[in-house]
Structure 1
């Protein structure tokens, strides 16, 4: 009987220690003021289409008008396209098609980039926005083409509008000079392409306000974000070629289109309006292609 109280006391101590241990673990798992964060959601697209099959044959015929007149064996080679070299087809794929004819040479290239964020706090879409924004900044578009909401943010800065900075101010002046002076296009950048549109007017192209609509610019009807660049350059001493680039983002995929035309006649200037319209139409088809 003398040992009963001691037994009860030991049992009580063991129970107390057990209770204290459980309470300590509970308190450690739920630290006051600590929030549990969940990983950012993945992007909409987990795979990419096969680039060299992304453009329908009828569209290729329209983009490469000289291909239909080639011998059948050469047609097959043109339509097959040349895939871009890539180390991870789940992240990036591309393809290029080229057609040469007695009248002109044309090529179309597409690039699909699936952006993945390795930061659990940043979604794939947010990371893709950052990548796209860098591409748009690198294009150095005219200040007049920027979205009004961005212009409003920039006007609040001490410099005022983008033309207030030395870089953008020089570009804006260059674009204006291109419209009014009709100086030869040197192909040095987007401002050179704007001047090229004036050259088009002198060669029977579009002039006036329509020419302004053909300047490099932001596109508000393609994907989530998009812009168009138009560059006229010289190949060698005389030949001129024009490259229209359309870049757009849809969710976590960024697509780049490059459409190039080089006439056989050195004095002929590639039609900016035609190339831009066809490049934008292809962009719309690729948006649909991604959504399939």
Structure 2
């Protein structure tokens, strides 16, 4: 039988076709693998995103302090109060805010023949706008801004915390405002006063001067480094500080106590001041500080429940 003729060109065509098919299969497999790796990367990135803070809502501020606490912080002159007057004093006046899940506040005032006491409470829930920064970390940044502004000495030293640098200040100004605003000016604030850096300004008139440690009018003021001096507080929230200022301006003599503490992504600011009608009677630090710290502890326990 005659053999079939061998055609070299046909063999080459078959070989090329097989090679092309294998190449196509290999390319499809590589594409599928690449897609799978992309999905795995997205999942890993999502799992590494900063965690949200513990608090997603806020309580009603005027109802937080116990009535007994308010009676102690806003003492009278021995005259009994009518039910209507008691409700007016101890019920407080709620701040006006646009979002009560982001910011709430309340103010209390009691006037007597000896003077006036003001109590202001501001509670801010901080939310980070960056997936790389947690709510807690953003809240800590804002807390430190308050601590530096108050020039609180760092723990274990008499040296005030390092003020924020111009670069830090510029960055803070570019960041979104953490908190709801109130009143028509579009800035963080409360009825009765504008808020700065997340804190409610006291409802008292602004002071025009403050005494130095050598000023005779400041004899009862806490000395630098003393147990009543402005300082970092331990055992209150995640971090806290207390500030104490005696003001002897022409507008009146008053002592202002401020306690600020952070717990997770919530910052609480308490402002407690006493105005004296007799300029020779300076408000004492010990009583005011003790009462402000007691309220701060009560609020911290309430928020942790």
Q: Is the 8 A contact 1:39 1:121 kept in 2?
A: yes
Closer, same or farther: CA 198–117 of 1 in aligned 2, 3 Å = same
Q: In the alignment, which of 20, 29, 36 is matched to residue 27 of structure 2?
A: 20
| 1:103 pairs with 2:88 | no
Once the 2 structures are TM-superposed, how far is the Cα of residue 66 of structure 1 from its aligned partner? 1.5
| 1:249 pairs with 2:259 | no
Q: Is the 8 A contact 1:194 1:216 kept in 2?
A: no
TM-score by length of 2: 0.69
TM-score by length of 1: 0.72
1:142-161 to 2 correspondences below 5 Å: 145-148=153-156
SS at match of 2:219: helix
Q: In the alignment, which of 65, 68, 88 is matched to residue 75 of structure 2?
A: 65
Once the 2 structures are TM-superposed, how far is the Cα of residue 102 of structure 1 from its aligned partner? 1.5
| 1:131 pairs with 2:142 | yes
Alignment RMSD (CA, Å): 3.7
Q: Is the 8 A contact 2:218 2:246 kept in 1?
A: no
Closer, same or farther: CA 87–232 of 1 in aligned 2, 3 Å = same
Which residue number corresponds to residue 6 of structure 2?
Answer: none
- Provide the C-alpha distance between the structure 1 equivalents of 2:162 and 2:139, rounded to a whole number of angstroms: 29
Which residue number corresponds to residue 281 of structure 2?
Answer: 268
Which residue number corresponds to residue 229 of structure 1?
Answer: 243
Which residue number corresponds to residue 199 of structure 1?
Answer: 219
Once the 2 structures are TM-superposed, how far is the Cα of residue 264 of structure 1 from its aligned partner? 2.4
Q: Is the 8 A contact 2:147 2:161 kept in 1?
A: no
Once the 2 structures are TM-superposed, how far is the Cα of residue 27 of structure 1 from its aligned partner? 2.1
Moved more, 120-129 or 14-23: 14-23
SS at match of 2:226: helix
- Provide the C-alpha distance between the structure 2 equivalents of 1:208 and 1:81, rounded to a whole number of angstroms: 33
Moved more, 282-291 or 227-236: 227-236
Closer, same or farther: CA 138–164 of 1 in aligned 2, 3 Å = closer
Q: In the alignment, which of 48, 52, 64 is matched to residue 58 of structure 2?
A: 48
Q: How many residue pairs get matched? A: 246
| 1:258 pairs with 2:276 | no
Which residue number corresponds to residue 231 of structure 2?
Answer: 217
Q: CA deviation digits over 1:45-77, x for unaligned, max 9? A: 111111010101011000101187333212111
Over alpha carbons, which structure has the higher Rg?
2
Moved more, 278-287 or 36-45: 36-45
Closer, same or farther: CA 66–270 of 1 in aligned 2, 3 Å = same
Unaligned runs of 5+ in 1: 1-5, 152-160, 166-185, 202-206
Q: CA deviation digits over 1:154-189, x for unaligned, max 9? A: xxxxxxx76999xxxxxxxxxxxxxxxxxxxx9746
Once the 2 structures are TM-superposed, how far is the Cα of residue 92 of structure 1 from its aligned partner? 0.7
Which residue number corresponds to residue 173 of structure 1?
Answer: none
Once the 2 structures are TM-superposed, how far is the Cα of residue 236 of structure 1 from its aligned partner? 3.3
Q: In the alignment, which of 282, 287, 292 is matched to residue 295 of structure 2?
A: 282
- Provide the C-alpha distance between the structure 2 equivalents of 1:235 and 1:198, rounded to a whole number of angstroms: 12
- Provide the C-alpha distance between the structure 2 equivalents of 1:215 and 1:268, rounded to a whole number of angstroms: 20
Closer, same or farther: CA 193–40 of 1 in aligned 2, 3 Å = farther
SS at match of 1:74: helix
| 1:291 pairs with 2:301 | no
SS at match of 1:273: helix
Closer, same or farther: CA 200–64 of 1 in aligned 2, 3 Å = same
